[in-house]
Structure 1
Amino acid sequence: MCGRYTLVLEPDDLEERFDARVSEPVAPTYNAAPGQRLPVITNEAPETIQRLEWGLVPSWADDDTGGLINARAETVVEKPSFRAAYERRRCLVPADGFYEWVETDGGKRPYRVAFEDERPFAMAGLWERWEPETTQTGLDAFGGGVEGAGDDGPLETFTVVTTEPNELVGELHHRMAVLLEPEDEHRWLTEDDPRDLLEPYPGDAMRAYPVSTAVNDPSNDDPSLVEPLES
């Protein structure tokens, strides 16, 4: 799965990389976590970087709880929770690294995976718009209140598509996010059925290194989280 990631680009650099304008303030994050409102670029507004909530709530859901943070590439066309979004509501999820956890004798150890040159990339995502029938009390799917939830208006959410891991990530976990080549980002947003893009990204230009267990707590968000630890 992909359950945490980083995006430390300044807004100007984010706009330049994705050729889109930031629609509301975006701060660098060293610990993007489910339930947070994070930058995405949707097929509906490809010229805009907007913030949606991580944890997809299908449009037909009875309520706004239980957001889905990942969608499996192998079944994304078939699963009722994702089928309509795959057909009509795809998005790019900007990032520059992601975390995975490895079981050790001393407990789970977090690793950060990124490109050797720390270049930003887009993860393949899906998004949804959920319309409340009545006033909602707020999304509490991940424990505690969630920023931006509880309004009477529509709730817009996203999920990250995952696939089999490459040889590097496979040493850490049995799944990884689908990373898109820059030239394939437009295809993901616009083509009718770009399933051929849902393959593991080659790991030869990437690195993985251990980081502090402070990343386990999503309330921690500072540059020390991405500093390498001794193996």
Structure 2
Amino acid sequence: MKIKSWSNYLPGRLAIFDDKSFKNDVKELISNDMIRIINKKYNIPPTLPIPTLLNNGNYLYAHFGYLPSWAKDKKSMNINARSESIFEKVTFRESYKYRRCIIPINGFFEWEIEDKEKTPYFVKDKEQDYLAIAGIWDEYFDNELNMNIVTVALITCDANEKLGKIHHRMPIVLEKKDFKIWLYSESLKETNSLFKVYPSEKLELYKVTQDVNKVLFDEKSCIERVEKIKKGQQTLF
């Protein structure tokens, strides 16, 4: 499948290498842990599996890239949905009503573009080791695999002041006290109220290696801080 440059989206790369704290915080919400021991991933691009807690109690690996059940092919895949219009779009509306999920990540990557050069940053929570991202899901029949797969999209909003310096959008981050509301509430007014911009003071972002640009590069060094980026370093985008 030919896809656009994922650098145009946010977040287009994720990291999830430790879900212990998240699983402890949602243990009463998980009825079927299909992941058990997480597969550490430091640079997840769209189409790869990401851990997801569905509102039916299943904690499983889902396809990073949302496809509604009625999609004819994967060309209509979306990796995120805008919070401002999710309840209006035909593609997302039903899933927003009935199939919401939480996607735990340890952080995500975004790129600062200056003078045609792209500098990657890692974005994480300052106070805890994961971000609980609001998402939607659906089941899609994958002809290549000859089976149904769970597909997910992250929900985004306007970026906070800190992240807004490098990108205008950011994911919706849920507070622990709102997990049950997001997963189970039948009131769209109540779930809409969770579409808040995560405060700048709760986020940390720092420069990381240009190796993040390589889709197949998946090492711990992806999330390690670097002080300087060499000018003229090539990226894949």
Q: Same fold (TM over 0.5)?
A: yes
Correspondences of 1:1-231 after superposition (within 5 Å)? 1-9=10-18, 12-19=20-27, 20=30, 22-24=33-35, 25-45=37-57, 48-105=58-115, 107-131=117-141, 136=143, 150-192=144-186, 193=188, 194-231=191-228
Unaligned runs of 5+ in 2: 1-9, 229-237
Deviation at 1:18, TM superposition (A): 2.8
Is contact 2:21-2:130 (8 Å) kept?
A: no
Deviation at 1:182, TM superposition (A): 0.7
Deviation at 1:16, TM superposition (A): 1.9
Query: 1: distance between equivalents of 2:51 and 2:33?
Result: 9
Is contact 1:124-1:179 (8 Å) kept?
A: yes
Instruction: Supply the RMSD in Å over aligned alpha carbons.
Output: 1.7
- SS for the counterpart of 1:131 is strand
Is contact 1:7-1:96 (8 Å) kept?
A: yes
Number of residue-to-residue matches in the alignment: 212
Is contact 2:21-2:129 (8 Å) kept?
A: no
Query: 2: distance between equivalents of 1:173 and 1:64?
Result: 26
Give the counterpart letter for 1:184 in structure 2.
D
Unaligned runs of 5+ in 1: 137-149
Is contact 1:178-1:198 (8 Å) kept?
A: yes
Query: 2: distance between equivalents of 1:188 and 1:116?
Result: 23
- Tell me which residue corresponds to 2:235: none
Is contact 2:17-2:38 (8 Å) kept?
A: no
Give the counterpart letter for 1:161 in structure 2.
I
Q: 1:14 to 1:185 in 2, by over 3 A?
A: closer
Query: 2: distance between equivalents of 1:198 and 1:52?
Result: 23
Query: 2: distance between equivalents of 1:106 and 1:131?
Result: 40
- SS for the counterpart of 1:83 is helix
Is contact 1:55-1:66 (8 Å) kept?
A: no
- SS for the counterpart of 2:91 is coil
Query: 2: distance between equivalents of 1:198 and 1:117?
Result: 20
Deviation at 1:6, TM superposition (A): 1.2
Question: Identity of paired residues, percent?
Answer: 31
Query: 2: distance between equivalents of 1:93 and 1:177?
Result: 11
Deviation at 1:126, TM superposition (A): 0.4
With structure 1 as the length reference, what TM-score do the two structures score? 0.86
Give the counterpart letter for 1:111 in structure 2.
Y
